[in-house]
């Protein structure tokens, strides 16, 4: 009896000791990469690869396979490092990504890395872990947070994509008000909700006498479009473009150009009077369940290979200028970018805030 009890006690103590040492063991490495602000700071690239492979998994969110060539990037990363990627909620918004970080916390399903719009990035820096990729100095200073809480990844111009078999060639925004475009023009989302749609309305505004400070002309334009019965209120997706429900779409040029795969007659037009440029940003979650894999994913995205993958998806990677100088850019892919002549405009956070406030008050009335 006594012996049994002692024996059992010993077993329990032994198990507890084992557990503590096991926890201690993993938590040292995890803590190490969870707080590492660069590959060198965490023990070097080789150590990062080893730690990431040991984690074996990576959770990404709101990155559809047909968005900026993410499908190829995911496959290449898994092939190179043997790390399985779980891509959650592909059609989610940037806010959905942040909501997932907040709601899932440290659980193994929580997102490790985020690909988010600038307004969401700036509003949620408390959820992000600072990290500087090896190629940090290639990213222009005004396109990154100085400690690495967020750093821009790829961008493009707001454009009008259209199926040239269904509608006449688009040479200006005014064309879209004509009778040939009845029930044909759509946005990629609701502009009070989706960043791409907000920029679509902003582009219409700039082309119609507004400015980056004044989105009202764009709202007026879509009101005219609605009155002409040309506006389609459904969200343009690959499937609505494919089946012809949305033959004219306001969207980023790199997303729009991708429709050419399904619709060979698809053309992309960037009005020279309104070249609107915007970048998305990468960020690592502070509570990432796979901290090393998250950092390795960022290193992969900002390597020459990763940047060229985005370029092959017709997005303009943030290191493009540096890579053109170094000669590491995929020149054939760069030549395929939709042409745009003029000076690109980029919204400041203040201009974006003013635009969204105007939209919140006026958008629903303009299109209903």
Q: Which of 99, 125, 216, 351 binds another protein (CB under 8 A)?
A: 99
With CB under 8 A as the contact rule, the residue among 53, 57, 193, 346 that binds another protein is 193
| CA-atom Rg of the chain in angstroms | 24
Is 63 near another protein (CB under 8 A)?
Answer: no
The partner residues of 249 in beta bridges, in order of sequence, read: 161, 186
Q: Is 325 in the site for another protein (CB under 8 A)?
A: no
Residues in a beta bridge with 128: 285
**Site for another protein contains 365 (CB under 8 A):** yes
User: Is residue 183 close enough to count as binding another protein by CB under 8 A?
Assistant: yes
Closer to another protein at the Cβ: 239 or 272?
239
Judged by CB under 8 A, the residue of 139, 176, 185, 198 near another protein is 198
Contacts of 24 (CB under 8 A, 6+ apart): none
Give the dihedral sign, CA 92/351/162/181.
Answer: positive
DSSP sequence for 250-288: EEEHHHHHGGGGT-TTEEEE--TT--BEEEEEEEEETT-
The beta-carbon contacts of 173-179 under 8 Å, at least 24 apart in sequence, are 173/204, 173/207, 173/208, 173/221, 173/271, 173/274, 176/225, 176/230, 176/248, 177/224, 177/225, 177/228, 177/230, 179/228
Of residues 207 through 236, those in contact with another protein by CB under 8 A are 229-235
Of 37, 38, 119, 303, which lies in the binding site for another protein, with binding defined by CB under 8 A?
119
Q: Which of 130, 161, 247, 313 binds another protein (CB under 8 A)?
A: 247
**Is 176 a residue that touches another protein (CB under 8 A)?**
no
Which CB sits closer to another protein, 121 or 323?
A: 121
Q: According to CB under 8 A, which one of 125, 172, 245, 351 is a site residue for another protein?
A: 245
Interaction between residue 240 and another protein (CB under 8 A): yes
DSSP annotation of 179: G
Helix (H, G, I), strand (E, B) or coil at 227: helix
State how far the Cα of 71 lies from the Cα of 80, in Å rounded to an integer: 14
- How many residues belong to the site for another protein (CB under 8 A)? 45
Binds another protein by CB under 8 A, chosen from 59, 63, 159, 195: 195
Instruction: Give the integer Cα–Cα distance in Å for 327 and 322.
Output: 8
Strands, DSSP E only, in the chain?
Answer: 57-61, 84-88, 113-116, 128-129, 151-163, 185-187, 248-252, 266-269, 277-285, 316-317
- Phi-psi category of residue 209: left, alpha or beta, with phi > 0 → left and psi -120 to 50 → alpha: left
Residue closer to another protein by CB (options 137, 243) is 243
Candidate residues 47, 72, 76, 123; the one interacting with another protein per rule CB under 8 A: 123
Q: Is 111 in the site for another protein (CB under 8 A)?
A: no
CB of 178 to another protein, least distance (A): 12
Assess contact for 136 and 148: CB atoms under 8 A: yes
Under the binding rule (CB under 8 A), the answer on residue 363 touching another protein is yes
- How is residue 306 written in tokens? 């990763």
Give the shortest CB-314-to-another protein separation in angstroms.
22
Binding characters for another protein, 331-360, by CB under 8 A (x = yes):
---------------------xx--x--xx
In whole angstroms, how close is the CB of 186 to another protein at the nearest point?
8
Judged by the rule CB under 8 A, the positions of this chain that interact with another protein are: 92-96, 99, 116-117, 119-120, 123, 182-183, 187, 189-195, 198, 229-235, 239-240, 243-245, 247, 352-353, 356, 359-360, 363-365, 367-368
């Amino acid at each position: 009896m006594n012996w049994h009890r002692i024996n059992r006690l010993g077993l329990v103590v032994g198990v507890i000791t084992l557990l503590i040492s096991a926890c201690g063991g993993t938590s040292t490495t995890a803590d190490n990469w969870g707080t590492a602000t660069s590959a060198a700071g965490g023990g070097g690239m080789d150590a990062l690869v080893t730690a990431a492979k040991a984690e074996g998994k990576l959770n990404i969110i709101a990155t559809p396979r047909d968005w900026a060539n993410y499908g190829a990037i995911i496959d290449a990363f898994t092939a190179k490092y043997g790390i399985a990627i779980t891509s959650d909620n592909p059609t989610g918004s940037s806010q959905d990504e942040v909501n997932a970080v907040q709601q899932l916390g440290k659980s193994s399903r929580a997102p490790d890395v985020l690909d988010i719009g600038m307004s969401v990035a700036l509003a949620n820096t408390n959820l992000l872990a600072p990290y500087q990729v090896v190629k940090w100095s290639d990213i222009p200073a005004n396109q990154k947070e100085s400690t690495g809480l967020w750093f821009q990844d790829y961008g493009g111009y707001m454009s009008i994509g259209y199926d040239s078999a269904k509608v006449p060639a688009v040479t200006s925004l005014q064309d879209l008000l004509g009778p040939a475009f009845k029930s044909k023009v759509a946005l990629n989302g609701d502009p009070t909700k989706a960043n791409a749609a907000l920029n679509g309305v902003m582009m219409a505004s700039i082309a119609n006498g507004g400015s980056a400070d004044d989105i009202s002309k764009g709202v007026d334009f879509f009101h005219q479009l609605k009155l002409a019965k040309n506006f389609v209120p459904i969200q343009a997706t690959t499937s609505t473009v494919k089946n012809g429900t949305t033959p004219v779409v306001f969207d980023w040029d790199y997303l729009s150009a991708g429709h050419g795969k399904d619709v060979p007659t698809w053309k992309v037009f960037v009005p020279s009077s309104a070249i609107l440029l915007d970048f998305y940003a990468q960020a690592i979650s502070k509570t990432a369940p796979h901290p090393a894999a998250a950092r390795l994913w960022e290193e992969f995205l900002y390597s020459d290979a990763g940047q060229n993958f985005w370029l092959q998806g017709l997005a303009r990677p943030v290191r493009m200028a540096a890579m053109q100088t170094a000669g590491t850019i995929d020149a054939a892919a760069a030549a395929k970018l939709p042409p745009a002549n003029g000076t690109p405009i980029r919204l400041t956070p203040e201009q974006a805030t003013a635009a969204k406030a105007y939209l919140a008050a006026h958008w629903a009335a303009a299109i209903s």
